[in-house]
Chain A
Amino acid sequence: MIHPSLIKKQRLIMLSLFVLIVLTIIVSMGLGYSTLSFDRLLPTLFGQGTFKENFVLFSVRLPRIIITLLAGMALALSGSILQGITRNDLADPGIVGINSGAGVAVALFFLFAPINAGSFIYLLPVMAFAGAVLTACLIYFFSYNRKTGLQPVKMVLMGVGFSMALSGVMVVLISSAPREKVDFISKWLAGSIWGADWPFIWALLPWLVILIPFTLYKANRLNLLSLNEPVAIGVGISLNKERIVLLLTAVALAASAVSVTGGIAFVGLMAPHIAKALVGPRNQMFIPVSILTGGWLLVLADTIGRQVADPDGLPAGIVVALIGAPYFIYLLLKK
């Protein structure tokens, strides 16, 4: 039985987050390198804009905003799931090797493959996705045991081990690479939104449309999994099956997000904690809040990141940590 006041509070928080997202999107559409005034936004949206306005809004800004929103949501959801199944507060999509695997794949591709201007933009996310999934599979393979099944502690340790080894590989690659290429790679790693175009949205959207309801449907099992093993088995959960299914969900979400945005670790780690601090640790309550928080944080971060510094801006992954961390510390102090 969930206390009605808690439900009310959660609804309120969700509503305000939703409003915040909409506001941020509107502001974000109007701000940027080239001008598009706010009173022209609506006409342009409904097809009355000039060619330039149409181009700026529909080909540049809107896809980027949608991508950041979706990626933020996916990462936050993935982080929530992982923290639940591993029962570890430090778990984030990075521990299943997503970021480091994608990073090494991108670095290898960028340094050694012949660069073809036409296909490069599309191949880079594909490479990142392949790298991320491959690493996750390796981690799974090494932490799976035929007798005991999938042990979260082993998986977490394996994941960290692999991430670190891959970062090591990364350092070796970087140490032999020319400076300009290193700057590009480190920018990718810091999470500059790379794939801001409609095809990437269509690649990312289905994952979310299917997996968000699926996770919410599984929320109660996540609650039980995050208690402890004897309890979970005692109430009749097929421990191994649930873990694997949820793990796959988390990997799919994070890998698809990271492949288009670059390595953004912070959202997956902190959005669930922010949500838990707001509405408590019950999964069906905090997961929706966490998803919205993640989406909003990333859109906000990218909007800010695009305004400061040169036209390239600061990568969203950096800005999100700069604004998210102080807020999280504030929550921690208040609690």
Chain B
Amino acid sequence: MKTKAERIPFIYKILAAVLLFIAIFVLAMVLGAADTSIKDVWSALTSSSDGEKLSIIREIRLPREIAAIFVGAALAVSGAIMQGMTRNPLADPGLLGLTAGANAALAVTIAFIPAVNYFGLMVACFIGAAVGAALVFGVSAVKRGGFSPLRIVLAGAAISAFLYAIADGVGITFKISKDVSMWTSGGLVGANWSQLQVIVPFIVVGIIIAMLLSKQLTILSLSEEVAVGLGQKTARIKAVLFVVTVMLAGASVALVGSLTFIGLMIPHIVRAIVGTDYRYTIPMSGLVGATFMMLADTLARTISAPYEAPVAAIVAVLGLPFFLVIVRKGGRSFL
């Protein structure tokens, strides 16, 4: 028996999502602190003529929106993978210790090297995220037959709690909690082309691998026994998926700080629309995540322009109503 939502073919749903994506992209390019029109955006993207408005669009808005697209997609896809792999609806990319590690590294850096610049902070975040992920990975893989979903989830929760405690403790002792929280709720303020060149390849490769493995992920999300029974090398698949998640989430955390909401909620919203087959869920999550992130970033830029509102807050507050409706109406429970 199929529910009403399932009768609409997937192709129409993804087409609708693409249209929405394009609409939001145009909106994001046009709106902002500086006054620009659709015509300016068009000529900035297609011609090579110069002008103040055109260079605002090319050098500030375009990299920022591209960053939003990739970060949103990466977070949503890595969230979908985590939830499928651990079979836990509360799993999110932050569970891998990435966000907590980045937070801890950030707090320590701000406390001990107050003069550090933007780039230094980004490097610190990246290192912290890597250390956090390595800890979780190490703890859940150390035993034979490791990578049981339960272990990943528990190790992730414990290590994240530990690292967050370090971040909070340092923040309170050195009286820098405000700086730390403003940075981590941060957003895409400093996105520029050179950052994108480093980060985008990681995300693209990660998403491609995720799509290739989506069939395996669907099987894995049923149950361990089913997956093994169907002849799947579960440990290897899980290790690859784990690395993909770290790549995706690590790149995003380094760029924008912690945005747990997207990784956690977008997969749930998407699942209510296209069902639990990850061959559909993963591409759709990427698309919806990107759209949502662009929307949130645009709002953050425009609500109190020319100042920035923290994106993390916008994402969470904006996402809640969507989410309430979906969870209530969607009817489709997690597993």
Contacts and interface: CB of A to CB of B under 8 A. Distances in A.
Interface of A: 88-91, 95, 142-143, 145, 151, 153-154, 156-158, 160-162, 164-165, 167-172, 174-175, 179, 182-183, 186-187, 190, 265-266, 269-270, 273, 309, 314-315, 317-322, 324-326, 328-329, 332-333
6 closest A-B pairs by CB? A168-B316, A321-B165, A325-B162, A168-B313, A186-B177, A165-B320
A88 B88 contact: yes
A24 B316 CA distance: 41
B162 A326 contact: yes
Given A88-B88, A171-B310, A186-B172, A164 B260 contact: yes
B320 A318 contact: no
A319 B197 CA distance: 40
Chain B CB within 10 Å — which of A158, A160, A309 has the most?
A: A160
Contact of B158 (A153, A169, A183, A329): A329
Interface string B134-152: 0000010011000000110
Contact of A329 (B139, B175, B314, B328): B139
Contacts, number: 162
Contact of B333 (A151, A165, A186): A151
Highest count of chain A CB atoms <10 Å: which of B91, B157, B171: B157
A314 B161 contact: no
A103 to B, nearest CB: 12
A1 B228 CA distance: 33
B3 interface: no
Contact of A171 (B88, B155, B181): B181
Contact of A333 (B143, B316, B323): B143
A174 B172 contact: no
B258 to A, nearest CB: 10
A41 B191 CA distance: 61
A153 B330 CA distance: 13
A322 B169 contact: yes
A297 to B, nearest CB: 12
A321 B155 contact: no
B8 to A, nearest CB: 24
Contact of B157 (A154, A170, A269, A326): A269
A90 B317 contact: no
A321 B159 CA distance: 9
B177 A142 contact: no
A318 B173 CA distance: 11
Contacts of A320: 165
B255 to A, nearest CB: 18
A333 B142 contact: yes
Contacts of B143: 333
B257 to A, nearest CB: 11
A269 B161 contact: yes
Contacts of A329: 139, 155, 158-159
A161 to B, nearest CB: 5
Question: Which of B150, B165, B168 neighbours the largest number of chain A CB atoms within 10 Å of its CB?
Answer: B165
A318 B172 contact: yes
Nearest to B320: A165
A218 B89 CA distance: 27
Contacts of B315: 168
B127 interface: no
A318 B168 contact: yes
Contacts of B91: 90
B327 A332 contact: no
A190 B88 contact: no
Given A89-B153, A270-B161, A325-B162, A171 B312 contact: yes
Contacts of B177: 182-183, 186-187
B178 A179 contact: yes
A154 B335 CA distance: 12
B327 A161 contact: yes
B103 to A, nearest CB: 13
B319 A165 contact: yes
B268 interface: yes
A319 B178 CA distance: 20
B140 to A, nearest CB: 8
A173 B68 CA distance: 24
A266 B164 CA distance: 11
A161 B324 contact: yes
A160 B161 CA distance: 16
Contacts of A90: 88, 90-91, 153, 157
Contacts of A174: 178, 181-182
Pick the most buried of B166, B172, B320, B323: most chain A CB atoms within 10 A of its CB: B172
A157 B319 CA distance: 13
B155 A183 contact: no
